[in-house]
Chains A and B, each alone.
Chain A
């Protein structure tokens, strides 16, 4: 029985990371009222600079740091356009996606040439947690996973607690639901929104870095392969909550893993390949109940005018 094989769950977990992280990032941004569809682009930026700095400095951790900085800066640009200039957030996000795809491919070919990034690029370590290792079935799933898998699990829990059980989290949500009310209560709407969007950039960049220096140790053009968009679906599927996003990412990850494992069993690979997308459509068609976005999502707020 394939479902009893821990390998499929290990693959599920590992394929869920690059979806869950940007999905949670998107949740933070949209909860404060800024539509963020730039996860794909920010992931690419994160993935590229993670590899570049990992190679130049010889340390994957510094690469990860550079990815976070670059992802944060890109998100800051998005935030500035969306908040300060009140630009259309969908167009802005799409612009960043296209810009990032072009920029990273250009830099890859200019700095490293067509043979790709050097194979000596260090990657983040894979670890097994002592103790967890010895639990019979679970141990195999967590055996030798990238350290970012564990970081992601911690981040999921912390994010959920942060968004729903802290003061700042409450403020973020209030700004996304009714910015005017929040403003009259003395909350700086713009500052909270900047915070939310930049936070989403950090999470997306982390997701990108997972692909380039967590799973692999190199960058290829467009290596995110649309995962930022699937993350968008995971965010909606998860009803704009970190735990929900993680759950949705697990389902999408599972369908990819299923596609891999079922192939030996005489089922057409083309059919299996459809599963994640079919699930997305079902999710959007209301399979999981109504998905309600934060009320002020996508609507710019100008404190000077109200």
Chain B
């Protein structure tokens, strides 16, 4: 019997590998490989020169395991790419979602091999895969989100100083807790942070959040837990319930799809939440106070534009509050204007360098 289980496990692994292998081919076939404006890559004259830089380019997007449904940075990258497809002439796009971490290299190579001009890798977790594949395909340009790869000329990296966005979100949480700005808050002044994994793109948000919160509410308490998952919603919900049972009434999940479950739990328990990456108020309008955002869509759009106009450069670009690369979503209605005023002040202080936000998490 035990043997049978082993056989099952082994065949499961083999099949998973098989499926994901096929997945690359299949996914790209069914995905949106339409050229914009209907002029599909037929060999019509592209030397007309009337449209703005109408060079035909192919863009491939590889998501991490969070997938396009993460309501977060994978989704944002997709939004940026779709915007480029609609607004720039001659951009055709394709997406592959990674089912597991072992898919990263095959998925990236798949696009490079098929002559894509730019391959976008969403996420820090793809760093090694990008380094490997970019060296094998020097003619293809790569963009990696949330990581700083230097020294490879065909790799551009977009780094987000999300600690600044986290700081602003922390300021909001601190003010709300200290002054009990929202109804239903308890008197314990506890906020609960849920991280997906102990990695820099997650921890920068969290570090900023902790500092911002402590600045406004020095006696408040920040709980911090990691789920080790970016996709298990039910687990995220369970973590949130645990923090809520410890008195937390503002939950800040930085855990992709897993965090959606945490917001769901906060909503069910009638406590509050702060969204991440994109404005997540639509997930729970009565619970989400604000969201710490980062402009992955902008970074993707700008890079596609650069590739098309031939100005693509390798190296690291930093996005922060000063260039609106990170920020904070509009505050929930019903919060006093004073909160917004403080947020604006703090934002200016960060931009001017008066407030320095550390990226180290307090554990």
Given A7-B245, A18-B234, A116-B260, A229 and B12 contact (CB-CB distance below 8 Å): yes
- Taking a contact as CB atoms under 8 Å apart, the answer to whether B67 and A221 are in contact is yes
Q: Which residues of B contact A225 (CB under 8 A)?
A: 229, 231-232, 234-235
Given A115-B71, A215-B237, A221-B69, A293 and B223 contact (CB-CB distance below 8 Å): no
Given A116-B71, A119-B282, A298-B4, A220 and B238 contact (CB-CB distance below 8 Å): no
Instruction: Kindly supply a per-residue 1/0 record for chain A positions 72-105, scoring 1 wherever the CB is within 8 Å of any chain B CB and 0 otherwise.
Output: 0000000000000000001100100010000001
Q: Is A1 an interface residue (CB 8 A)?
A: no
Q: Which residues of B contact A216 (CB under 8 A)?
A: 233-234, 237, 261, 264
- Taking a contact as CB atoms under 8 Å apart, the answer to whether A223 and B238 are in contact is no
Q: Is A284 an interface residue (CB 8 A)?
A: yes
In the complex, what distance in Å separates the CA atom of A284 from the CA atom of B3?
Answer: 10
Q: Is B239 an interface residue (CB 8 A)?
A: yes
Name the one of A115, A218, A260, A298 contacting B225, with C-beta atoms under 8 angstroms.
A260
Given A11-B241, A11-B242, A263 and B231 contact (CB-CB distance below 8 Å): no
Q: Is B142 an interface residue (CB 8 A)?
A: no
Which residues from 204 to 224 on chain A have a C-beta closer than 8 Å to any C-beta of chain B? Answer: 211, 215-218, 220-223
**Least distance between B232 CB and chain A CB atoms (Å):** 4
Which residues from 130 to 176 on chain A have a C-beta closer than 8 Å to any C-beta of chain B? Answer: none
- Taking a contact as CB atoms under 8 Å apart, the answer to whether B8 and A37 are in contact is yes
Which residues from 209 to 235 on chain B have a C-beta closer than 8 Å to any C-beta of chain A? Answer: 223, 225-226, 228-229, 231-235
In the complex, what distance in Å separates the CA atom of A293 from the CA atom of B237?
Answer: 35
**Least distance between A241 CB and chain B CB atoms (Å):** 14
In the complex, what distance in Å separates the CA atom of A170 from the CA atom of B94?
Answer: 55
In the complex, what distance in Å separates the CA atom of A105 from the CA atom of B96?
Answer: 13
- Taking a contact as CB atoms under 8 Å apart, the answer to whether B75 and A114 are in contact is yes
Which residues from 1 to 32 on chain B have a C-beta closer than 8 Å to any C-beta of chain A? Answer: 1-2, 4-5, 7-8, 11-12, 15, 19
Given A216-B234, A293-B1, A269 and B228 contact (CB-CB distance below 8 Å): yes
Q: Is B198 an interface residue (CB 8 A)?
A: yes
**Nearest opposing residue in chain B for A266, CB measure:** B363
**Least distance between B238 CB and chain A CB atoms (Å):** 6
Q: Is A236 an interface residue (CB 8 A)?
A: yes
In the complex, what distance in Å separates the CA atom of A108 from the CA atom of B70?
Answer: 13
- Taking a contact as CB atoms under 8 Å apart, the answer to whether A90 and B7 are in contact is yes
Name the one of B4, B11, B234 contacting A215, with C-beta atoms under 8 angstroms.
B234
Q: Which residues of A contact B245 (CB under 8 A)?
A: 7
Q: Is A270 an interface residue (CB 8 A)?
A: yes
Q: Tell me the count of chain B residues lying within 8 A, CB to CB, of chain A.
A: 42
In the complex, what distance in Å separates the CA atom of A12 from the CA atom of B97?
Answer: 32
Given A108-B69, A269-B198, A98 and B238 contact (CB-CB distance below 8 Å): no
- Taking a contact as CB atoms under 8 Å apart, the answer to whether A114 and B234 are in contact is no
- Taking a contact as CB atoms under 8 Å apart, the answer to whether A220 and B233 are in contact is yes
Name the one of B11, B71, B239 contacting A260, with C-beta atoms under 8 angstroms.
B239
Q: Which residues of B contact A298 (CB under 8 A)?
A: 4
Which of B1, B7, B99, B282 has the largest count of A CB atoms less than 10 A from its CB?
A: B1
In the complex, what distance in Å separates the CA atom of A105 from the CA atom of B99?
Answer: 12
Which residues from 1 to 34 on chain A have a C-beta closer than 8 Å to any C-beta of chain B? Answer: 7, 11, 14-15, 18
Given A216-B237, A269-B228, A98 and B260 contact (CB-CB distance below 8 Å): no
Q: Is A188 an interface residue (CB 8 A)?
A: no
Q: Which residues of B contact A108 (CB under 8 A)?
A: 69
Q: Which residues of A contact B12 (CB under 8 A)?
A: 37, 94, 229
Q: Is A185 an interface residue (CB 8 A)?
A: no
- Taking a contact as CB atoms under 8 Å apart, the answer to whether B238 and A14 are in contact is yes
In the complex, what distance in Å separates the CA atom of A108 from the CA atom of B284?
Answer: 19
Q: Is B257 an interface residue (CB 8 A)?
A: yes
**Least distance between A107 CB and chain B CB atoms (Å):** 12
In the complex, what distance in Å separates the CA atom of A293 from the CA atom of B1?
Answer: 6
Q: Is B250 an interface residue (CB 8 A)?
A: no
Q: Is B68 an interface residue (CB 8 A)?
A: yes
- Taking a contact as CB atoms under 8 Å apart, the answer to whether A211 and B15 are in contact is no
**Nearest opposing residue in chain B for A236, CB measure:** B5
- Taking a contact as CB atoms under 8 Å apart, the answer to whether A218 and B260 are in contact is yes
Q: Is A180 an interface residue (CB 8 A)?
A: no
**Nearest opposing residue in chain B for A116, CB measure:** B69
Q: Which residues of B contact A264 (CB under 8 A)?
A: 223, 225
Q: Is B182 an interface residue (CB 8 A)?
A: no
**Least distance between A10 CB and chain B CB atoms (Å):** 8
- Taking a contact as CB atoms under 8 Å apart, the answer to whether B8 and A90 are in contact is yes
In the complex, what distance in Å separates the CA atom of A114 from the CA atom of B282?
Answer: 13
Which residues from 278 to 299 on chain A have a C-beta closer than 8 Å to any C-beta of chain B? Answer: 284-286, 291-293, 298
User: 19 additional contacts, CB 8 Å, given A223-B232, A260-B225, A286-B2?
Assistant: A11-B241, A37-B8, A90-B7, A105-B67, A115-B71, A115-B75, A116-B71, A119-B282, A211-B233, A215-B237, A215-B238, A215-B261, A220-B69, A220-B257, A221-B67, A225-B229, A225-B235, A233-B5, A292-B1
The 8 closest A-B pairs by CB, nearest first: A225-B232, A269-B226, A293-B1, A263-B225, A273-B228, A215-B234, A7-B245, A211-B234
Could you tell me which A residues sit within 8 Å of B by CB distance?
A: 7, 11, 14-15, 18, 35, 37, 90-91, 94, 98, 105, 108-109, 114-116, 119, 126, 211, 215-218, 220-223, 225, 229, 232-233, 236, 256-257, 260-261, 263-264, 269-270, 273, 284-286, 291-293, 298
Could you tell me which B residues sit within 8 Å of A by CB distance?
A: 1-2, 4-5, 7-8, 11-12, 15, 19, 67-69, 71, 75, 78, 99, 198, 223, 225-226, 228-229, 231-235, 237-239, 241-242, 245, 257, 260-261, 264, 268, 282-284
Q: List 25 A-B contacts (CB under 8 A).
A: A7-B242, A7-B245, A14-B238, A15-B234, A37-B8, A37-B12, A108-B69, A114-B75, A114-B78, A115-B282, A119-B282, A119-B284, A216-B234, A216-B264, A218-B260, A220-B231, A221-B231, A223-B231, A225-B231, A260-B242, A263-B225, A263-B226, A284-B2, A285-B2, A293-B1
